[in-house]
Amino acid sequence: MIAIDWGTSSFRACLLGPDGAVRERLASARGIMAVPDRQFAASLREAIGPWLARGETRVLMAGMIGSRQGWQEAPYLPCPAGAAELARALVALAFDWAELRLVPGLATRDDAGIAEVMRGEETQIAGAVARGEVPASGLVCLPGTHAKWARLDCDGRILGFATHMTGEVFAALRGHTILGRMMREAPHDPPAFAAGLARAGQPGGLLHHLFGVRAEALAGRIGEEAGASYLSGILIGHEVRAALAEAGTAEVLLIGEAALAARYAEAIAALGGRTRLAAPDAAAAGLFAIGRAG
């Protein structure tokens, strides 16, 4: 089968073997926002034409391609849901050149009744479940612009989840406040990041800790090259503290890019938790699992 993770700003396709192993892969910046005039069918045929020509016709797609802004909406499924529920809710697209199906996203509500949605992450989580990566705690974190924390039952179904706007808040603060003026582009600075994590554990609250980035810079204790790492530590520290206060300190599976996941691992370890890092290609593994469950 062909497994496709088609997001807002990226397109990733994997040709899978009958055992689910990735045989070939494609990646481009042709996310749904970069497809002219919503020509999704043409864009897809162009990208995976060689695989189709070899007789592969089963195509399963996850991510924003199934949103209202994408090809066709695959309505959100309520939690709890796992691979079996997702498989039963696949949305088929009527074309004669392939068997195209969209994976729905998931919706939940927190204790206060505030709605939350995810689209794409449910498939990555299903992949981690299929590969036996989820710890007994059932806790999974996907760091990023809008970081997701999900809790699973012992059958691998997602019971609920919460989103933290950490990555986007970081970018807005760095790009559009007084804090950014004290930062220069530089590699990750581990001591500054650790200082930010420690700061997040002190009293005063996030809005006060943010102002301290300026104070520490003015005092010369955080240099221009270290400012962004210090800010990142404060934000990730606050996110992880809040998430673990909700969930209890436990083992957490991290699904995401290795460098960012390592920072979350450090933040979780600082609070006494443990982490595992999911293997690459979680989305492809999830699409394979959903395809088999259907």
Q: 12 or 241: whose CB is closer to a copy of itself?
A: 241
Interaction between residue 242 and a copy of itself (CB under 8 A): yes
Residue 33: CB minimum distance to a copy of itself, A = 13
Give 255's Cβ-side CA count (13 Å radius). 28
Strands across the sheet containing 22-28: 22-28, 11-16, 2-6, 58-62, 99-102, 91-93
Residues 6+ apart with CB under 8 A from 219: none
Residue 288: CB minimum distance to a copy of itself, A = 30
Interaction between residue 203 and a copy of itself (CB under 8 A): yes
* Nearest-10 crossing angle of helices 227-247, 190-200: 40
Interaction between residue 12 and a copy of itself (CB under 8 A): no
Restricting to residues 164-193, which ones interact with a copy of itself according to CB under 8 A?
164-166, 168-169, 171-173, 175-178
What b/e readout covers 269-293, taking b as 16+ CB neighbours within 10 angstroms? Answer: ebbebebbebeebbbbbbbbbbbeb
Interaction between residue 228 and a copy of itself (CB under 8 A): no
Please name the residue that has the structure tokens 């999830």.
Answer: 286
Restricting to residues 69-108, which ones interact with a copy of itself according to CB under 8 A?
none
* Nearest-10 crossing angle of helices 206-218, 190-200: 140
Q: 57 or 177: whose CB is closer to a copy of itself?
A: 177
189 in helix, strand or coil? Answer: coil
Residue 59: CB minimum distance to a copy of itself, A = 28
Q: Using CB under 8 A as the criterion, which residues of the chain lie in contact with a copy of itself when the complex forms?
A: 110-112, 114-117, 146, 162-166, 168-169, 171-173, 175-178, 199, 202-208, 210-212, 215-216, 218-219, 235, 238-239, 241-243, 245-246
